[in-house]
Structure 1
Amino acid sequence: MRFQLTDEQQALRAAVRDVVGRFLSAGPSWLVAARGGADKGHSPAPLVDRGLWSALGELGVFSLRLPEAEGGAGLGLPEAVLVFEELGWALVPGPLVATHLAAGVVPGAATGEAVVAAADGSLVEWLDEADVVMPGAEGAVAMRSVDPLTPVHRVPAPARVEPVAVLLTAAEQLGTAGRVCGLAVQHARTREQFGQPIGAFQAVKHLCAQSLVRVEVARAAVYAAAVTGDAVDIAAARLLADEAAVRGARDCLQVHGGMGFTWESEVHLHLKRAWVRARRGGGGTESEELLAADLAGRAS
């Protein structure tokens, strides 16, 4: 299977990176809030950047898979995966997956005018900031989130998780994995110890190389699942993407040392976001069970 992107897919990915990049270059409000809360000695108040949310709506991020007759772009899962990979790379906060899935169902979701929250397994993210909350989040109880920029609530009855939601989460994880791999390599090239870049040391080389391998393996799995849409392929992609994001972020922290935990660095935020995403849909357990059942069925 070849994964050579078409000119249209490359243009879509570039457009998303350009829009998100303009907000990042101006100083993302969510990162400013996080650092401000840390300076004052308390956890920051999470927020959805409404300006960026509207810009993503205008770009068609949320309406991407809606038919053209309904005001969407009429594109498919491969294009959605490319978009969500970029959003994960940029650490964009907010219920991106829930709002994307609500396009065409909830008024304003497709255009970015409405922020939509939905239960994903036993958790629901951004409940208090949402304009619309989908059924299934009744009785949710606030929890302390490891990611200061992703508020979470626990719901009493776990909700069914759509395979598309799992795949788009995997795409976000893939974006994070690619980002932290790049950050690790960049730091290894510029940070010097004993008169030479730390990237010259074998242990650091191994961390960067292993991170890159995990990224490329996960990318192949996520892209393949986007093409097939098969639930088993999606489960495998989710597990590989989770591993690439979490282990990649941990190794990136190792390369950066103590400075990776400071608010001047974004590295620890990528790790915390990867941890939270890895708990969506009840964690990887359901994906592991689905994959194991398929393998057992083939063996028998």
Structure 2
Amino acid sequence: MDFQPTEEQEDLRAGVRDLLEGRYGREALRASVDSGAPVIDRALWRELGEAGFFALRLPESEGGVGLGLAEAVLVFEEAGRVLLPGPLVATHLAAGVVPGAAEGTAVVTACDLGGGLVAYAGEADAVLGAPGLPGGSPVRSADPLTPLHRVPSYEDADVDVSSYRSEGALLTAALQVGSALRTVELAVRYAGEREQFGQPIGAFQAVKHLCAQMLVRAEVARTAVYAAAVTADDGEIAAAKLLADEAAVRGARDCLQVHGGMGFTWEADVHLHLKRAWVRAEQWRTAGEAEELLAAELLVSASS
């Protein structure tokens, strides 16, 4: 089985990267954080819809692009790289189910965090698998670009997203991979620019090791995500989410370490990657849930 992206898939990745870098580069990211305006740019959301971001896996007969999970993870990896905010996964999953989701004219969120927490509830038009938009109270979020609301009626309510859970976990893992790869780039660039004792800090073995470990984790996670996108196996998706969460969280921490004191300041982007990685690690499938799923598969395999 060949897990290498095809030329067409690489062209898709390049096209999405160009679109996102042109519409949501670093200046736009910082403006989103500093402006206090709504997090979701509705014009950009519609532009993503027109580009087929949300309808990527819908059949062409239904107005979609007609591609599969393998292409979707490449697209979501690029979105994770630029820290594009918004319920991208939920809206993508809602394409063809919630009116306007495929076209980007509707923003759809999901109950994917547990405990009655709903991300972007204040800006969304619908909640995947739930009727209407419930009221809720704002909850302080670790990530300034992932506003949260606590919706008590959802804590024990039958909001069934089980049929979307594996795909949601895989697409979230792809977002994590994009973020992990971006923090490698940030760390390597800073290590080549920052000088200490008359030479770039990247010349020191300790910094080299940090950057190398970041790259290995990110590439292993990327390979696992690509493989899971091809097989669509629940166990492989769970493993991919575990690896991607670790790559994103630990990668951002190591990137912050490479930046030293600079990494802790509001001006550095690395803290945004770390905070988003923390939130994504709790979405769709947590580490504990993934481990339980994998353990159950191992027990079945051992007993057969």
Unaligned 5+ runs, structure 1: 37-43
Match of 2:122 among 113, 116, 128: 128
| AA partner of residue 94 (structure 1) | G
Pair 1:143-2:143 in alignment: no
Match of 1:79 among 71, 83, 105: 71
CA separation of 1:205/1:226 partners in 2, compared to 1, >3 Å: closer, same or farther? same
CA contact (8 A) 1:126 1:151 kept: yes
SS at 2:54 equivalent: coil
Return the offset for 1:264.
Answer: 2.0
Match of 2:203 among 200, 203, 206: 200
Instruction: Find the counterpart in structure 2 of residue 41 from structure 1.
Output: none
Match of 1:93 among 80, 85, 91: 85
CA contact (8 A) 1:166 1:281 kept: yes
Give distance in 1, aligned partners of 2:71 and 2:167.
13
What TM-score, normalized by structure 2, do the two folds share?
A: 0.91
SS at 1:119 equivalent: coil
Give distance in 1, aligned partners of 2:18 and 2:97.
28
Pair 1:289-2:292 in alignment: yes
Return the offset for 1:156.
Answer: 1.1
Instruction: Find the counterpart in structure 1 of residue 14 from structure 2.
Output: 14
CA separation of 1:129/1:156 partners in 2, compared to 1, >3 Å: closer, same or farther? same
Instruction: Find the counterpart in structure 2 of residue 260 from structure 1.
Output: 263
Pair 1:64-2:56 in alignment: yes
Pair 1:224-2:227 in alignment: yes
| AA partner of residue 107 (structure 1) | P
Give distance in 1, aligned partners of 2:196 and 2:38.
37
Return the offset for 1:236.
Answer: 0.3
What TM-score, normalized by structure 1, do the two folds share?
A: 0.92
SS at 1:20 equivalent: helix
Give runs of ≥4 in structure 1 deviating > 6 Å.
none
Match of 2:110 among 111, 118, 122: 118
Per-residue CA deviation, residues 153-183 of structure 1 (Å, 9 max, x unaligned), is: 3441375442100100000001011000111
Give distance in 2, aligned partners of 1:149 and 1:225.
28
Return the offset for 1:48.
Answer: 0.3
Unaligned 5+ runs, structure 2: none
Further displaced range: 101-110 or 44-53: 44-53
Residue identity over aligned pairs, in percent, reads 64
Pair 1:212-2:218 in alignment: no
CA contact (8 A) 1:218 1:240 kept: yes
| AA partner of residue 180 (structure 1) | T
Per-residue CA deviation, residues 77-119 of structure 1 (Å, 9 max, x unaligned), is: 0000000000000100000001001111111111111111111
CA contact (8 A) 1:139 1:156 kept: no
